[in-house]
Homo-oligomer: A and B are copies of this chain.
Amino acid sequence: MSDTSARTHAADGPEAGGELHERAARLDAADPLRGSRAHFVLDDTVYLDGNSLGALPRTVPGRVAEVVRREWGELRIRSWTESGWWTMPERVGDRIAPLIGAAPGQVVAGDSTSVNVLKAVVGAVRLADRERDEILVDATTFPTDGYIAASAARMTGRTLRPVEAAAVAREAGPRTAAVLVNHVDYRTGELHDLPGITAAVHAAGARVVWDLCHSAGALPVGLDAHGVDFAVGCTYKYLNGGPGAPAYLYVAAAHQGAFDSPLPGWNSHAEPFAMEAGYTPADGAVRGRVGTPDILSMAALEAALEVWDGVRVEEVRAKSLALTDFFLECVEACVPSGSVVCATPLPHGRRGSQIALRCADAAAVMAELIRRGVVGDFREPDVLRFGFTPLYTSFTDAWRAARELGAVLRAPA
């Protein structure tokens, strides 16, 4: 994969492994984010599945217990005001905002990513003239985005057209109402060109919705800086919000006044407790709310976001790239030649925070890796996914994962 790693690969044995192990230790010692690992509940497992479910932040259990026992159990209904439950969606949204490059007042937490995709895509389409009769989606999108975009197209009288992400910029045209693109491909880990695609979609007179599930918390997104229109994302991967934690919706300030949600629930009403028969949408991010917010999960997420205090996303990105570079080098050194093919682009500008390796019998290989204490995941048809979460993944983790992968692939079947 590079000259250096090819040279190391020639020494495919204990010495190379030892040298890499020492380098891993030195890299860990010099890591400016090494202190963050202590904020998480971790054990001896090499956990490289934080791109699917982030580890438990130590801030969470106590906070959840407090919400259950004190806020729900003792204060009950009073907590909607006294414990700040009612405003939690926009408050949590404002905590997520700096991680994705958004000024306050544009992000609201709640619902699942799929539900937010519907809000964003329908919202984007409704900003377009009627003659713009198509919605573009990246062809290798995470499936739910494609399914929901198809539903949005059907319900707004448009046609959905899948195109390769690399082709979106040139395919967007006068018939395009809206475009939905994943920032990082969930399978290959490829990072798509958010600034370039956004500019091209705008040049075509359309709006873009970015799905940040696999990028937020792993790399700078820069929503405001690049003039993104809408974005959605989950919070249970790099944001460590917990299983099925509330997702979020970003509506750029410039579009908030015209944002016309397909889910105008009472929580998005200008005066929700007036209980009016007619719908008058609230101003601001709150317009993206729908029903009663899910307080237990939202409180867990809010506590989980405390691990970001004082952390700069740029630092996280630097470590992410160093980790994935080092992991690839270790794979070259430890894994039998030709047994895996890297599906993740090598240029830093096109790489997210995971490495996808294609190999034969990938499901069985991953099962054995997990048995050995290295947790990644398998994705159809032949992909081993290794996610690198810079707040708690160490260089030693990367080395151990590669070493075990080599052992599994060298073992007789």
Known: A65-B65, A263-B115, A297-B296. Contact between A143 and B276, CB under 8 A?
yes
A residues 278-316 in Cβ contact with B at 8 Å: 279, 290-298, 300
- Are B111 and A111 closer than 8 Å at their CB atoms? yes
| Residues of B with C-beta under 8 A to A293 | 244
Stretch from A8-16, A20-28, A73-81 that touches the partner: A73-81
Instruction: Give the size category of A's interface with B.
Output: 35 or more
> Is the CB of A127 closer than 8 A to any CB of chain B?
no
CB-CB nearest in chain B for A113: B291
Known: A244-B291, A275-B380, A296-B296; 18 extra A-B contacts, CB below 8 A, are: A53-B76, A56-B76, A61-B69, A68-B242, A112-B290, A112-B291, A143-B276, A144-B267, A146-B279, A148-B263, A234-B292, A236-B292, A242-B296, A244-B293, A244-B294, A244-B296, A245-B296, A297-B297
* Contact of A64 with B296 at beta-carbon distance under 8 Å, contacts A52-B77, A76-B375, A115-B115 already known: yes
Partner of A61, one of B60, B65, B279, B380: B65
Residues of B within 8 A of A379 (CB): 275
Cβ-defined contact, A56 with B77, below 8 A: no
User: In the bound complex, do residue B162 and residue A277 qualify as a contact, i.e. CB atoms below 8 Å apart?
Assistant: yes
Per-position contact with B for A35-70: 1 when CB-CB < 8 Å, else 0?
A: 000000101000101001101100011001100110
B residues less than 8 Å from A55 (CB atoms): 73, 76
> A5 contacts the other chain (Cβ, under 8 Å)?
no
Partner of A64 from the list B64, B244, B273 (CB cut-off 8 Å) is B64
In the assembled complex, A85 has its CB within 8 A of some CB on chain B: yes
Min distance, Cβ A242 to any Cβ of chain B, angstroms: 6
Query: Given B146, B147, B162, B242, which contacts A72 in the complex, CB threshold below 8 Å?
Result: B242
Residue in chain B with minimal CB distance to A112: B291
Residue on B with the closest CB to A122? B155
Interface presence of A114 (CB below 8 A): yes
Min CB–CB distance A148 → chain B (angstroms): 6
Measured between beta carbons, the chain B residues less than 8 angstroms from A263 are 114-115, 118, 148, 151
- Chain copies in the assembled complex: 2
In the assembled complex, A266 has its CB within 8 A of some CB on chain B? yes
Q: Which one of B52, B242, B244, B264 lies within 8 Å of A148 (CB-CB)?
A: B264
A201 to chain B minimum Cβ distance, whole angstroms, is 22
Q: Is the CB of B113 within 8 A of A112?
A: no
Name the distance in Å between A151's Cβ and chain B's nearest Cβ: 6
Give the residue name and chain of the B residue nearest to A43 (CB): B74
Bound form: Cα–Cα A9–B273 in Å: 35
Residues of B within 8 A of A65 (CB): 61, 64-65
Residue in A76, A85, A380 whose Cβ sees the most chain B Cβ within 10 Å:
A76
- A262 in contact (CB, < 8 A): yes
A68: contacting residue among B64, B147, B269, B377, CB under 8 A: B64
Residues 245-278 of A at the B interface (beta carbon under 8 Å) = 245-247, 261-267, 269, 272-277
For the complex, what is the distance from the CA of A273 to the CA of B383, rounded to whole Å? 13
Asked if A150 is an interface residue, CB under 8 A from chain B, the answer is: yes
Shortest CB-to-CB span from A153 to chain B, Å, is 11
Q: Which of B61, B115, B274 contacts A73 (CB 8 A)?
A: B61
Q: Does A156 contact B (CB under 8 A)?
A: yes
The residues of B that contact A143 with a CB separation of less than 8 Å are 266, 269, 272, 275-277, 279
